[in-house]
Structure 1
Amino acid sequence: MRYQSPDPYHSTLIPLMISAEDALARLDERTNRHAVEDGYRERGHFFDAVAALWVAGELVHVEDLVLHDARMDARAPTHELTIAHAVLRARRRVWLAEPSWALSTPGLSALRGEQLAVASGDDAASADPDQQPPLAHGGGEQGRAAEYGEEDEVNPMAAELAAIDAVIARSQQLLDAHDQDALDLAERAARATDPEPLGQLGLLFDDEWDEQARLDDWRQAIAAADQLPPCLGAALLFDTWERAEPLRRQHWLGSLLVSAYLRSRGKVTSHLLAFNTGLKTIRHERRRSQDAITRWSAFLEAMIVTADLGLKELDRLSLAKTQMEMRVRDRRSNSSLPALIELVLSRPIVSAALVAHHVGVTPRGALNLVRELGIREMTGRGRYRGWGVL
């Protein structure tokens, strides 16, 4: 299906485009010179990963994601939590790379997981135990003697050990034959009930769905997006992704690539825009409307909301940092409170175990530090307590 782009300079889109351009410019300028830039950027990774699952219809708690990222899960991680952590790791990887890396062929391949290629012939041979060279001491009775350091003397148990090896070998042959008979029987039964079996996962996936071709078609839209203002170009790329759906198991990658595109255009350079935090406030009917102008309008409104939320987050973090620094003003130079302030500003929520691990104190000491810093408790649970900046 070929994507039909609407008129990017439609009268409905122009005011929204101007507002989005202005809002993102103000957010980027303020973040670039803000004292909590690093903490704001790291917190944005967590909030956007959780919001990406929200947009997809799944619920993940941000405190669970923080603990899972620190390998301190309070419970067994769910499938949705695992996906959210994949989004989190992808955002960090995109941010640490060059601005245009995510949109390049190597970048897209890496984000799709294709960098895990099959090892080379030499590596595969060294990793395959069946291809390993024989032991230096040989096999059979001589090898066993060399293994136990008995090369120079006759092993009195050699005959008995050889008999045991023979019995084990015959038993293994019988088991292998029985397993093969069972497999043959199962295959005949399957052919009898289903003469034309479906391919692998044929009931779940469409074999004609060519992800690579769809992804190549989407990348061709980048050239057209470069001819538009950054926000309209991002709208074009996001809407193209939503309509084409190149990756079925990584649909969340579209919003991440849009944020990377805005960074490559120089629109948002201080951080990786947490676009999903604003997108989740837009009604589903507008985001998935059949009318392209409505979808583009929803996208631009989401960018405006994202920028407003980012400015409010900077205000909260700035105020919290000032209040916490006032509490440690007269502390000794080797106090652990400054390290705790850094942790609190870089995570949406912290637990006693996380504080103890990051600061290097005992769990009891972590509770004392939290009490001294006056951080607000956010969970209200008896068995699991968390603190953070609201």
Structure 2
Amino acid sequence: MTYEIGKLNHETLIGPVVAAEDALARLDERVTRSEVGEGFAERADFFDSISSMWVAGELVHIEDLVLHDAQMDIRAPSHELVIAHRIVRARRRVSRNDPGWAVSRSGIMALAGVTEEPSIEAEPADIGGEGVELDLVDHDALSPELTEIDEVLARTKWLVDGNEPAEPRKQEPELSVGELLIRDPDWDEGERIGEWLELAKKVDGFPATLAAAVLWDAWEYLEPLQRHHWLGQALVSDFLRSRGKVRSHLLAYAVGLREVPRERRRARDRVSRLVAYLDAMSAAAGIGMKDIDRLTLAKRQLERKTLDKRSTSSLPVAIELLLSRPIVSAHMIARAAKITSRGALNLISELGVREITGRGRYRAWGIL
């Protein structure tokens, strides 16, 4: 499976490329100079995670994700919720590293939680004229014991099933039936990731937004990782950051993809798909600009409540938490401000924040 760039219709792409470049540049400048830029970036992680799951056909509630991130679940987390939280943690990890770290083989493998076996064999090293061999392979002293335990367990399973014990084979372990349902043994993830990384080098001369759109289209086509397809959106956002288009934060690209109809995102014509992806970048920038305006206005209104208050007041802590999370609960404010739940409710009533859930229990508030 090979992804070919081919010839692109520049007359059709030039308009969306210019619009996306301008929108992202304006958003980046606005976030850099905004007083709520840090809170906006933290909120974007949650919104991008929810939108990414929505684009993939899964529904996760924002309040469940925020409470799960704060380790205050009100119910047992579902499989979709766990994946959504992995997206949040992956975006935070990408943001902590240097721009372009995720768009590398080591970065992709680290984010996917896959460990590659070293391809370089251990060679003897001579230090100070004395022959000292460095063993780079046998670094775990318990490996032989663990292998013997696995062999005993394999023989025991054969006896339980009513078969004769067989000699252990030194071949690679076969995939079980359950793994075959979710993993293709012929799916060469390393080769596909290498092909995608080579494509990232080829589009280096393209405009940043057009290159990001091509990379996302290639990620959709190649599907390098079988169980981490959602990782591609974070990689595209980090690619834009490495190209200097969005330096202030990690773009919530999935938020823009959610605004584009599925028929356009899944069009048969590649140029139509690229135009849809460019429009998604413009849409994500537009939504981000509106969110910045909303947060800036909310912060100024909330800061008026802190006038003539004591320097030890917990209102600033509550305001900072409200600006960095889509929703907050009384327990989250109590833990952040190190006060009681009753004190947190008093802070919320004093700030006059709108309640979102409208329930008697597990109440939550936020800035809409």
TM-score, normalised to structure 1, is 0.81
For the pair shown, the structure with the greater C-alpha radius of gyration is 1
The answer for the alignment partner of 2:18 in structure 1 is 18
C-alpha displacement of 1:285: 1.3
Contact 2:158 2:165 in 1 (8 A): no
List aligned pairs for 1:307-326, cutoff 5 A: 307-326=285-304
Question: d(CA) in 2 for partners of 1:389 and 1:59?
Answer: 22
Among candidates 162, 176, 194, match of residue 184 of structure 1:
162
Q: Which amino acid aligns with 2:83?
A: I
State yes or no: 1:92 paired with 2:92: yes
The answer for the alignment partner of 1:46 in structure 2 is 46
C-alpha displacement of 1:124: 4.5
C-alpha displacement of 1:116: 9.1
Question: d(CA) in 1 for partners of 2:144 and 2:309?
Answer: 55
Change (3 A) 1:71 1:246: same
The answer for the alignment partner of 1:114 in structure 2 is 114
C-alpha displacement of 1:214: 0.9
Question: d(CA) in 2 for partners of 1:351 and 1:57?
Answer: 28
C-alpha displacement of 1:312: 0.2
Name the stretch that deviates more: 209-218 or 116-125.
116-125
Q: Which amino acid aligns with 2:71?
A: R
The answer for the alignment partner of 2:360 in structure 1 is 382
SS of residue in 1 equivalent to 2:7: coil
C-alpha displacement of 1:330: 1.0
SS of residue in 1 equivalent to 2:312: coil
Superimposed CA distance per residue, residues 244-281 of structure 1 (whole angstroms, 9 cap, x where no aligned partner): 11112100111110000000000000000000011011
Question: d(CA) in 2 for partners of 1:31 and 1:25?
Answer: 10
The answer for the alignment partner of 1:211 in structure 2 is 189
List aligned pairs for 1:15-164, cutoff 5 A: 15-115=15-115, 121=138, 123-125=140-142
Superposed structure 1 runs of 4+ greater than 6 Å apart: 116-120, 126-131, 177-180
Question: d(CA) in 2 for partners of 1:355 and 1:204?
Answer: 40
C-alpha displacement of 1:202: 3.0
**Which consecutive unaligned segments of at least 5 residues does structure 2 have?**
119-135, 149-154, 167-173
C-alpha displacement of 1:228: 0.2
Contact 1:8 1:232 in 2 (8 A): no
Q: Which amino acid aligns with 1:373?
A: L
Change (3 A) 1:76 1:99: same
Among candidates 247, 251, 274, match of residue 273 of structure 1:
251
State yes or no: 1:5 paired with 2:5: yes
State yes or no: 1:365 paired with 2:366: no
The answer for the alignment partner of 1:248 in structure 2 is 226
Superimposed CA distance per residue, residues 318-343 of structure 1 (whole angstroms, 9 cap, x where no aligned partner): 00000000010111000000010110
Question: d(CA) in 2 for partners of 1:181 and 1:115?
Answer: 34
Superimposed CA distance per residue, residues 73-106 of structure 1 (whole angstroms, 9 cap, x where no aligned partner): 0110000000000000000000000101111222
Question: d(CA) in 2 for partners of 1:361 and 1:213?
Answer: 53
Question: d(CA) in 1 for partners of 2:297 and 2:242?
Answer: 31
Question: d(CA) in 2 for partners of 1:199 and 1:125?
Answer: 24
SS of residue in 1 equivalent to 2:365: strand
State yes or no: 1:338 paired with 2:310: no
Question: d(CA) in 2 for partners of 1:205 and 1:126?
Answer: 26
Question: d(CA) in 2 for partners of 1:49 and 1:207?
Answer: 29
Change (3 A) 1:180 1:317: same
Question: d(CA) in 1 for partners of 2:142 and 2:222?
Answer: 41
Q: Which amino acid aligns with 1:113?
A: G
The answer for the alignment partner of 1:303 in structure 2 is 281
Change (3 A) 1:329 1:104: same
Q: How many residues align?
A: 337
C-alpha displacement of 1:53: 0.4
Question: d(CA) in 1 for partners of 2:261 and 2:195?
Answer: 28
Contact 1:259 1:274 in 2 (8 A): yes
